[in-house]
Structure 1
Amino acid sequence: MRLLLESHYSVNIVGTSTDITEAMSKVIDAEPDILFIDIEMPTMSGLQFCSMIHNEVRPDMKVVFYTAHNKYLIDAIRRQAFDFLLKPATEQELSKIMARYYENKLASMNAVTQRDTGTPPIILVVNAINEHQPLTLNDIGYFRYNQERKLWEVVCCDGQTQILRRRSTADIILNYSPSLVQIHKRFIVNIERIKKIQESRCILDAPLSHINELKISKNYRHSLMQAFYNL
């Protein structure tokens, strides 16, 4: 587990332990962002361990349980575990957890930043080859559902297209910002980039003014027009 984590996104390991008392002390002192803990340990379970330190650690510390048996999954969920790993842990499964962690952390940071400064949120693109790229609303022209790959992608103002991770949905994208409006089951546009609405089509401003695929569905026209006139 340590070797996997150390090679993953430059994670800083603040401590490891196989002794319960030492582990409690290390977790309380180090205040880690994420605690990876085995459920089955010699003197107590990982679930009991987390109950004992609950009032001594930061409330936003994430806990990832790992075990050879999925029978503990329900208990882990009830203890509000951030995630769950089955042994032997693989790089692929750990990658999913870390990507989810960074997305969760970014969403929390965005909420604070928007509340305190009004700054536009950062949208984290996690693409098909597991690269992470932060985008702001100013970088984005529109989102498009790729029917062949069955996933969403973002078309940037510089003309590049980035593939979003497979679990990205229209609802997740729309929650990034009120400026993102769905115009069709396949298209979500950055309304701040719309130059004009021409019959049943959105025309974006430069450098995406040549794009002619942004058709407006009847089901979404009313909400689009309402958002457009509220600009």
Structure 2
Amino acid sequence: MDNKETHTEHCNHTIVEKNQENIFLYTTITGNLQLVHLEEIGYFRYNSKSKLWEVVLYNKHTLLLKRNTNSQKILNLHPCLVQISQSYIINITYLSSIEDNNCLLLSPFSNSETLQVSKTFLKKLKERYPCL
């Protein structure tokens, strides 16, 4: 193998390693493994009827997460995931604005459900992002 091939192989390996931090392998409620990229995730919501966290994806699909998933486990996945209430965790990269205590998200999540920010979490959000 010449130096050019070695360099290309090293660069590709580095790209894969960098992308790994934005790829998650979820175990769904049915026990299946689902590969999800951070940019596909708009937000997580807690479904109080089924008592499960769900992830809402860019293609409008919803994945039910396994029973032992809690908000702290979700928040620990990536720094871009921010809790806005007891029931919602958003991907901050899709946040467009906060109006009347509601998060408005960028496309393809711009027509999603109302994502209300609680006062407690709004305070934490302002502390984390001081320019808000």
Unaligned 5+ runs, structure 1: 1-112
8 A contact 1:125–1:162 mirrored in 2: no
| Mapped partners of 2:122, 2:79: distance in 1 | 16
For residue 125 of structure 1, give the secondary structure of its aligned residue in structure 2.
strand
Query: Greater helix percent: which structure?
Result: 1
1:189 and 2:52 equivalent? no
1:134 and 2:35 equivalent? yes
For residue 173 of structure 1, give the secondary structure of its aligned residue in structure 2.
helix
Q: Could you say which residue in structure 2 is the equivalent of 1:23?
A: none
Match of 1:164 among 38, 62, 65: 65
Unaligned 5+ runs, structure 2: 1-13
| Mapped partners of 2:113, 2:101: distance in 1 | 11
| Mapped partners of 2:128, 2:116: distance in 1 | 16
* Compared CA separation, residues 221 and 128, structure 1 to 2 (3 A): same
Q: CA deviation at 1:209?
A: 0.4
8 A contact 1:201–1:214 mirrored in 2: yes
User: TM-score scaled by structure 2?
Assistant: 0.80
Pairs within 5 Å for 1:110-149: 117=18, 120-149=21-50
Q: Which amino acid aligns with 1:209?
A: S
Q: Which amino acid aligns with 1:181?
A: V
Runs of 4+, deviation exceeding 6 Å: none
Q: CA deviation at 1:199?
A: 2.0
Q: Could you say which residue in structure 1 is the equivalent of 2:76?
A: 175
User: TM-score scaled by structure 1?
Assistant: 0.47
8 A contact 1:191–1:228 mirrored in 2: no
Bigger-Rg structure (1/2) = 1
| Mapped partners of 1:118, 1:222: distance in 2 | 31
Aligned residue pairs, count: 117
| Mapped partners of 2:31, 2:61: distance in 1 | 17
Bigger relative CO (Cα 8 Å, ≥ 6 apart): 2
Q: Could you say which residue in structure 1 is the equivalent of 2:116?
A: 215
